[in-house]
Structure 1
Amino acid sequence: MIFSSDKRNLLSLAVPVILTLILYGVYDFSLRSYITFFIYLTLGIVSIFMAFRLSVFKKPLIRFAIVFLFTYLSVYVFSLLLGLNTSLFDFCKGIAFSLVAFSACTMVKALALAIETVFLRKICLVISYVVLFAFVLLPSVLICYFVATGSLISSDIIIALAQTNATEGTEFIQSNFNIMWFLAFVALVVIYAINAFFFRKVEGVDSKNLSVFLSFFLCLASSVWLALPRMDYLPFSIIKVTSKQLDNFEIYKQQKSQRLAKLNKLNTLKLSDSTDPAGNLFVLVVGESETRDRMQAYGFDRENTPYLCEHLKNPNHILFTNAYSSWPQTVQALSYSLTEANQYQKKQTVDAYSIIELARASGFDTYWISNQRKYGVYETPVTVISSTANHEIWVNGSSKMEGVFFDEEIVKRFPNIDDNKNVFVVIHLMGSHQKYDKRLPSEFIRFEGQDETLDYYDDTVLYTDYILEKIYSKASEKSNFKAMIYFSDHGEDPHVVGGHDPVNLNGQMLRIPLAVYLSDRYVQDNPKIHDALVQNKDKYFSNDLIFDLTVRIMGISGLPGMDDSLNLADKAYALDKNSVLTMYGKMHLDEIPETKH
């Protein structure tokens, strides 16, 4: 026999079946329901009561309970210290989850100790410590990240890490590693070691209570499994939000063919009468992690944008002084910038046409050229958007995981296009991505005298200015060149972990450059657009509206839902400092914190 138990009491195992059916109905509600929460909290209280009631020795269990619950609930102390919006109800839900987690760990070990076969008992005891580690890991990750960075990890950080390849991950560690990260690792080891020490002393259940224990254990296991998708313990809720975002990415990918089919049936799309019938080339350049706060063209005291400053002497080359990012991370920012989704209308990303899709449907030959990796752990809307292009050029593709190419390789790969065609080229730079010195040829390491990190960052701005000049020169050689637009996905604060952590948000992460280069022929054919751009160059703008701006400059019309008051290339543009939004519509500009470190 595996367990020493009274066979007659095995009838009690029928109880979990009945209770599981009841709990399934209860958990069909969300934990936002106070009724469901009350049932769940009751389960937690009963769980810990039964764990103590059936245990042979109470004192070791009490000690383990104190340590385990302190570990679990400490995350709420950190959330309060950071001023996060944590309600009493959230804290109560955390208590409920903690009680159930504690009972689950205890009962798994008790179940292992009840096994008579020595070899099997040892295996199950090892499993019980693995279960303990899995449960302790949830709060420990948040605690350790707080130790390392002074903030709590968020779903956005997890998404960003999921898009990071091995080399970028190594560079992230090299850029941000300090004694605090070492202490965070030590904290992780210590937290688990302390919990494991007290867990080791937890004993099994009295043999006469074994059948009751088995019955309750199955009830607990089934109820936890049913409630798992709705648990709102802080670390688990972060995982749920992350999972939902990744699900939305997958939906966007799956709906690509549907969007293309709808666009092809949209008979209202057309090019403006001023479109050159001899051919048109438009270039959209997406920068990486460039803040305008550290650019000469915006008044910074280092000469790191000499080419851009020279271009501004041309009245057809326009610099916009008050552009902001909609989010301080690439995937989220570009999911809006490159699609018709934005912060001001109800259109969601999963339903939104991308700029590539619209250009193709309007007859443009489309190119996507990138010096970033195509895939991380997950595919995102950015990679889905790029896959819609007629031609994809990934400079650092799967064959070059180490990312050996500088951005100048993009200039070398600029396509030999047909001057008689309508062509749209999107270029995604590596720009000022951490680790900054890894983005630079040796001849562009120029600045010194300040903090080394800032020196290297300013060097990347200088190098990006050089690359933009090379791209412009290459494009403007084409007889059909009409316009080039440059903007950055988001800004950067080099002294913040990761450079643009939304948890440590400040204005430098959101203030970005935006420049439009128009050819003489384009201005001649489209004087109203030129005049509108000049008129609006000092107005406030968020880069989720890059889609609208680009579509107007390209002369594409007929897409339902376009709003002139949101278009920087229209004199009807109406956004100002009070109405421009950021952080996906959750923050006005005057609410952006200026320091967080």
Structure 2
Amino acid sequence: MRNFKNCILIITFLLIPIFAIGGVMYFNDFSLKLIAKELLFNSAILVFIILFTNLINQKILKNIVSLILLIPFYSILFIKIFTLLNFFNFIDNAVLYTVFETNYNEAKGFFNSYSKWYHVLIAVMYIFTLTILIFKVESGIKLKRTYYIEVIALICVAISYRFYERSLSLLVFNTYLEYKTFSAEISKDISKRTSKYFTNVTNNDEEALYVVIIGESTTRNNMGIYGYYRDTNPNLNKIKNELHLFKNVISPHIQTILSLDKILSMGDYQHPESNKLGTIIQLANQAGFETYWLSNQKPIGAYESLVSLYAKASKNRFYVSNIYEDTNKYDEILLPKLKETINKKASKKMIFLHLEGSHISYHKKYPENFNFFTDEPQTQFKTEEAHQIINEYDNSIRYNDFIVSQIIETVKNANKNSYVIYFSDHGEEVFKDYEYFGHHESIGSNAMFEIPFIIWTSDRYKEKSTINFSSQLERKYNLEDFIYSFSDLSRIKFDQFQPTKSIFNTNFQFKKRIVLKDVNYDERIKEK
């Protein structure tokens, strides 16, 4: 009887975090059905573990088996609680793809940004108390009773899997296999210099210097040049009359890899599998450009990131950072390399610059002399954390303004047939509409999609250009069709070009902008 009471005590104790999860889910508008699924699944697993270990008579072996089974379970449970507390949702395929793309420094920055001291304290206290209770349990319940209850527990597990669809452990395993298969398949096509899909590719420029700047986690909502109340763009504002600011461009996703997978390729919402057909880098290669990929982001996540697979198609690649470095390098480190690249002999250059931009751990993305905003920002969220994070993010935007303006200045001084285009892979929520900072599809705020899209062109480019930028600045556009705008801007012709999908084309046609799997972005804007 005493042993049975011990088991009941432990099971009751183990259910505490499950109810905590249920509480988090309930108070964030999760359905009771979802809570019930979570409670049933985790309770059944815990009952099974306790009953199974009570079948073992040898104490040391029993304790070892208990640890082997409980450590993975509580690791997964901790991840669930962490995800729910920070993002109010479960981990899904999109998040796992991002995890597989993440290197050590990014993971550390992510954890440091989102982890709260009380999360860690609760986990440590819980595991410590759990361990003491487990090791105090004496020999098991009577054998017949154990077998009987264990059969019930197994049935509960089976039912839970049916209701729950997939456990986190299975989701991780299956998604990882899917990710590796996808990487292997896509690398066969997009890493090559050319694409068989593109036919009759031409560009008649005798000389050209075209620069594509890919930013990171930058929402136009915090940019002074787009109307933000703070002067986060002092440098770009000085040359505003030379710039074309597109005001209604959004990113297709709010995670880097999913977003760039469409921006850089032929893939879109309706045909994501078309990403294997060809990329803007391959298109530039086939048009006779010498292509360069200059990056301040690490080339390797879990083995090799998908973005680096796209970059492999470039004839020249340069990475400032590598996976083994634990030091932070500011984006200005790319500026000397840009000048060096511009001075190379090739007559037609296409340069891609991949910035760190305003990636998470905002305070690490700018040097101390750019710690400009320290006062209380305008926000509906009156917490010290919100004020600090907003200031750090705005400082990173101001530093990014310096970087982009320096790139434009460098290209301008080259006095060639040139353009510079700047956009971000996705935006960021920074205490604008939600008491939250970062980007996650479970929240999916407008700020996470609303990105800058800025064009600068040289006088020599304008001499041959037929694009009327001023009439296009209000066009609503999803950057998933960027390959067509890129080819228009770069004067690249090819058989597969669709003028209706180029924001710069007179034949442009608005198409429904779908985000978050099935949300009509423009309808949602109207509702707000």
Provide TM-score, normalisation by structure 1: 0.74
Deviation digits for residues 455-485 of structure 1 (CA, Å, limit 9, x no counterpart)? 3322222222221122122223445533211
Task: Measure how far apart 1:367 and its partner are.
Answer: 0.9
Task: Measure how far apart 1:368 and its partner are.
Answer: 0.8
**Counterpart check, 1:108 vs 2:52:** yes
The answer (yes or no) to whether the contact 1:288–1:490 under 8 Å persists in 2 is: yes
Q: Which has the higher mean CA deviation after the structures are superposed, 296-305 or 405-414?
A: 296-305
Q: Where do 1:194-209 residues align within 5 Å?
A: 195-196=130-131, 199=134, 200-201=136-137, 203-206=139-142, 209=144
Select the residue among 113, 126, 132 that pairs with 2:64: 126
Partner Cα separation in structure 2 for residue 237 and residue 587 of structure 1: 29
The answer (yes or no) to whether the contact 1:582–1:589 under 8 Å persists in 2 is: no
**Counterpart check, 1:406 vs 2:335:** no
Select the residue among 361, 372, 381 that pairs with 2:286: 361
Partner Cα separation in structure 2 for residue 421 and residue 510 of structure 1: 36
Q: What's the counterpart of residue 538 of structure 1?
A: 474
**Counterpart check, 1:581 vs 2:517:** no
- Which letter maps to 2:28? L
Q: What's the counterpart of residue 76 of structure 2?
A: 138
Q: Which has the higher mean CA deviation after the structures are superposed, 254-263 or 509-518?
A: 254-263
Partner Cα separation in structure 2 for residue 573 and residue 238 of structure 1: 46
**Counterpart check, 1:154 vs 2:154:** no
Q: Where do 1:214-229 residues align within 5 Å?
A: none
Partner Cα separation in structure 2 for residue 108 and residue 539 of structure 1: 63
Which protein shows a greater Rg? Answer: 1
Partner Cα separation in structure 2 for residue 449 and residue 141 of structure 1: 35
The answer (yes or no) to whether the contact 1:75–1:139 under 8 Å persists in 2 is: no
Q: What's the counterpart of residue 383 of structure 2?
A: none
**Counterpart check, 1:591 vs 2:519:** no
Task: Measure how far apart 1:56 and its partner are.
Answer: 9.9
Select the residue among 12, 15, 27 that pairs with 1:81: 27
Deviation digits for residues 435-463 of structure 1 (CA, Å, limit 9, x no counterpart)? 33322233333333223433332222222
Q: What's the counterpart of residue 569 of structure 1?
A: 504
Q: What's the counterpart of residue 517 of structure 1?
A: 456
Return closer, same or farther for 1:235/1:244 CA change in 2, 3 Å cut-off.
Answer: closer
Q: What's the counterpart of residue 257 of structure 1?
A: 188
Q: What's the counterpart of residue 35 of structure 1?
A: none
The answer (yes or no) to whether the contact 1:432–1:461 under 8 Å persists in 2 is: yes
The answer (yes or no) to whether the contact 1:94–1:232 under 8 Å persists in 2 is: no
Return closer, same or farther for 1:83/1:412 CA change in 2, 3 Å cut-off.
Answer: same
Give the 3-state SS of the residue equivalent to 1:328 in structure 2: coil
Count of matched residue pairs: 510
- Which letter maps to 1:583? L
The answer (yes or no) to whether the contact 1:252–1:349 under 8 Å persists in 2 is: no
Task: Measure how far apart 1:321 and its partner are.
Answer: 0.9
Q: What's the counterpart of residue 493 of structure 2?
A: 557
Deviation digits for residues 500-543 of structure 1 (CA, Å, limit 9, x no counterpart)? 2333332222221101122333333231xx12x33221122222
The answer (yes or no) to whether the contact 2:294–2:352 under 8 Å persists in 1 is: yes
Deviation digits for residues 170-216 of structure 1 (CA, Å, limit 9, x no counterpart)? 44455445xxx122123223444565566553742546x59x959x8
Q: What's the counterpart of residue 423 of structure 1?
A: 349
Partner Cα separation in structure 2 for residue 464 and residue 262 of structure 1: 31
Return closer, same or farther for 1:122/1:592 CA change in 2, 3 Å cut-off.
Answer: farther
Give the 3-state SS of the residue equivalent to 2:474 in structure 1: coil
Return closer, same or farther for 1:569/1:228 CA change in 2, 3 Å cut-off.
Answer: farther
Partner Cα separation in structure 2 for residue 234 and residue 79 of structure 1: 18
How large is the RMSD of aligned CA atoms in angstroms?
3.8
- Which letter maps to 1:432? S
Return closer, same or farther for 1:241/1:174 CA change in 2, 3 Å cut-off.
Answer: closer
Structure 1, unpaired ranges of 5+: 1-54, 116-120
Give the 3-state SS of the residue equivalent to 1:402 in structure 2: coil
- Which letter maps to 2:245? L
Return closer, same or farther for 1:167/1:245 CA change in 2, 3 Å cut-off.
Answer: closer
Give the 3-state SS of the residue equivalent to 1:248 in structure 2: helix
Deviation digits for residues 531-570 of structure 1 (CA, Å, limit 9, x no counterpart)? 2x3322112222223232112212333353x433222011
Task: Measure how far apart 1:580 and its partner are.
Answer: 2.2
Q: What's the counterpart of residue 48 of structure 1?
A: none
The answer (yes or no) to whether the contact 2:194–2:285 under 8 Å persists in 1 is: no
Q: Which has the higher mean CA deviation after the structures are superposed, 380-389 or 455-464?
A: 455-464
Return closer, same or farther for 1:298/1:473 CA change in 2, 3 Å cut-off.
Answer: same
Partner Cα separation in structure 2 for residue 75 and residue 92 of structure 1: 11
Seq. identity, %: 20
- Which letter maps to 1:325? S
The answer (yes or no) to whether the contact 1:280–1:421 under 8 Å persists in 2 is: yes
Deviation digits for residues 407-426 of structure 1 (CA, Å, limit 9, x no counterpart)? 11111111145465332111
Return closer, same or farther for 1:537/1:144 CA change in 2, 3 Å cut-off.
Answer: closer
Partner Cα separation in structure 2 for residue 240 and residue 350 of structure 1: 24
Give the 3-state SS of the residue equivalent to 2:438 in structure 1: coil
Q: What's the counterpart of residue 26 of structure 1?
A: none
Q: What's the counterpart of residue 379 of structure 2?
A: none
